[in-house]
Amino acid sequence: MSTTPVEPDMAPEQNEATAALLESREILPTIDPIEEVPVDLKAPELYINRELSHLQFNVRVLEQALDESYPLLERLMFLLIFSSNLDEFFEIRVADQLRQLKYGREAVGPDAMHPQKVLEKISEICAINVDRQYKILNDIMFPALAAENIRFIRRGEWTPAQRAWVKEYFEDQVLPVISPIGLDPSHPFPRLVNKSLNFIVGLDGKDAFGRETGMAIIPAPRSLPRLIRLPDELCESGDNLIFLSSIIHEFAEELFPGMKVDGCYQFRITRNADLSFDFEEIEDLARALRGELHSRKFGDAVRLEVDSRTPAELLGFLQAEFNLPDSHVYRVNGPVNLTRLMAVRDLVERPELRWKPFTPGMPNKFKNSDDVFTALRKNDQLLQHPFQSFSPVVDLLRQAAKDPQVVAIKQTLYRTGVNSDIVNALVEAARNGKEVTVVIELRARFDEESNLQLASRLQEAGCLVVYGVVGYKTHAKMMLVVRREGSELVRYSHLGTGNYHSGTARLYTDYSYMTADPEIGEDVHKIFQQLTGMGKIQKLQKLYNAPFTLHAKMLELMQNEIRNVKAGRKGHIIIKVNGLTEPKLIRGLYEASQAGVKVDLIIRGMCRLRPGLEGVSENIRVRSIIGRFLEHTRVYWFANEGGKPVVIGSSADWMERNMLNRVETGFELSGKHAERIRRELDYYLQDNTQAWELHSDGSYTLVQPETGEERFSAQQALLDELAT
């Protein structure tokens, strides 16, 4: 297969805008060129900057909007996901770089790139790709949607009847809740909420009190939808939508009676949304977290998005108010809050423009038996979501909640939801007299408030709720059910690579391993003891856990592959994770490559490793798969020639935080499960439609089929094989 930057096949009728944007798609962009490679495996030249690699993943997401093999509304969703991802990138990653500079605590990673240089490169890449995003929206998406009778109607296009309806909507729904703020000494610039839609208005004239300020701010109420559907009877056909911003623009003057509005311009501020704690000072984590959550809305400004037509005077005023330089300002040709356009999914009922629905498959063992315990006593089960159903995991908990023989349930929760099926089952179990212990990670980013509510609900039901270990996020995905069977207590375990969330189980690829293996049950029990109690590290029989044994095991398995090659055998490593940033693991992979071990890395997002460097990583190939589902599985495969391959599923990415600063689990798979994992990894290595290959200079190219080669998508192959 070819990895030259050849573009996807374009239909003959493809419009000029699409062709131009495809033509402008270069190798996604070079991060840092390499000239000479030193031998020292710690040399900064061997490492890609983490933040820039993270940003590049989002650029690859944006590129999906140009893939005409996807349904139209799904292409729009990729365009909007780019905005959502970029919001979080600025809220967390850019904010961290700025904080380092502000307090003089600059920290450099293995790439030795100074935060100031990182910020400059981020600004350069974001400026190019935000501009590209709006070109795709205006020149491709809107015309393509209009061709499908989905129209976003601008103010100048409203008919008299439509304008009359919009005016009534403004007076009934908008005017009662909107609060314009004239700027003067008694009305200073308001404290605007993170990522809220606002307008800056130029005013001419004096108000009732004789004030002549010249400017005002209109915060758009967060309670109002950003997209409004026009009544069908006012339109010729199709789905007709208008933006809330258009309504406010049109009737802004009514908010300032007797004054003239010289101009009304959208803007949006992004703030630092990370939460920081001094763990030595915290006595009650939940109470401290509740106190910090409110401040998230009003952190330091890190980005300003404004209407491209905003006059220099007003823009300069906003920059001064938020203390942001030009490099953190993005002038956009369209709505500043694109993420809110995702509401189109609920306003437009066009299934033919969405992904074709599917039914997740169900293994025969569960299909032919209503008793999950009986099925697991006979055979361990490995499920891959979303291609296979998440229901058996929920059913295990539901059955345990009702079964009088079940005496205890233990569960970790990271991102779940207050009213999920999992939580409902835990509540029922506690009310039925089971001993229910739940380890909730309160600090799951942007889910903190939901997790606090979740903790309260479980505690009220009688569950024992603990928050893990201070300083170490509990990211492990574990469930343990203890059941009395005759004179014995039998343990049933679930271990996963993803969260206990039925919604994401339909969107993320993840593995679930369900077993009645007593040794695994004992290991899971010991890890729960570490989380809820205190004591020394306990030796595990079949599991590996971070921060104690998982990292060391990976280094050991890499060294084993090196020894095999030196002994004349073949060496091969396949790693599929969401991020690869931990320096010792990267050096281990470099050493393996130098020894002649073949290394295949399937890294969805951040990757600090540079493949293809002569004398260092020429035996390493790195690819990223972007498709319908978010790749989330974490599996590690080591050939171990001369013995059986070592295959480990895990909750952990190969990142510092996962290996060294979180509670994670790794579970070894064997027999038919190991064979299945290898077969499915091969699908991802064969993918020639949704795979992006990383080069030594930090750029990515979309892999294309060779002449005469059939197109192959790993995700589609798994859908065809496992779903119905």
Average pLDDT of the residues in 655-678: 96
Average pLDDT of the residues in 371-393: 94
Q: Which of 249, 328, 385, 475 is catalytic?
A: 475
Residue of 149 and 17 predicted with greater confidence: 149
* C-alpha–C-alpha distance, residues 75 and 133, integer Å: 12
* C-alpha–C-alpha distance, residues 1 and 25, integer Å: 20
Residue 415 known to bind ligand = yes
Average pLDDT of the residues in 241-270: 93
Average pLDDT of the residues in 404-419: 88
Cβ atoms of 687 and 625 within 8 Å: the answer is yes
pLDDT of residue 684: 98
* C-alpha–C-alpha distance, residues 306 and 335, integer Å: 9
The model's pLDDT over 110-136, given as tens digits with 9 standing for 90+, comes to 999 999 999 999 999 999 999 999 999
Residue 604 known to bind ligand = yes
Residue 445 known to bind ligand = yes
pLDDT of residue 88: 92
* C-alpha–C-alpha distance, residues 181 and 198, integer Å: 11
pLDDT of residue 277: 47
The DSSP call for residue 45 is: G
Average pLDDT of the residues in 209-214: 62
Cβ atoms of 386 and 507 within 8 Å: the answer is yes
Instruction: Name the one residue in this structure whose structure tokens are 């059913």.
Output: 395
* C-alpha–C-alpha distance, residues 476 and 545, integer Å: 9
Average pLDDT of the residues in 437-462: 79
What global pTM score does this model have?
0.90
Cβ atoms of 56 and 700 within 8 Å: the answer is yes
CATH architecture of 150-349: 2-Layer Sandwich (3.30)
Max alpha carbon distance in the chain (Å)? 90
Instruction: Name 335's bridge partners.
Output: none
Amino acid letter for position 213: T
Residue spans per domain, the chain: 150-349, 364-539
The model's pLDDT over 149-171, given as tens digits with 9 standing for 90+, comes to 999 999 999 999 999 999 999 99
Arithmetic mean of pLDDT over the chain: 89
* C-alpha–C-alpha distance, residues 435 and 426, integer Å: 10
| Confidence band for 451, pLDDT divided at 50, 70 and 90 | confident
The CATH code that applies to domain 364-539 is: 3.30.870.10
| Confidence band for 397, pLDDT divided at 50, 70 and 90 | very high
Average pLDDT of the residues in 691-704: 95
Nearest by Cα to 619 from 698, 696, 712, 681: 696
Antiparallel, parallel or unpaired: β 381-385 and 508-515: antiparallel
pLDDT of residue 332: 96
* C-alpha–C-alpha distance, residues 336 and 329, integer Å: 12
* C-alpha–C-alpha distance, residues 605 and 532, integer Å: 33
Percent of the residues in the chain that have a pLDDT greater than 70, as a whole number: 89
| Confidence band for 449, pLDDT divided at 50, 70 and 90 | confident
- Which tokens in the block code for residue 709? 């080669």
Cα of 669 vs its chain's centroid, Å: 27
Residue 525 among the catalytic residues: no
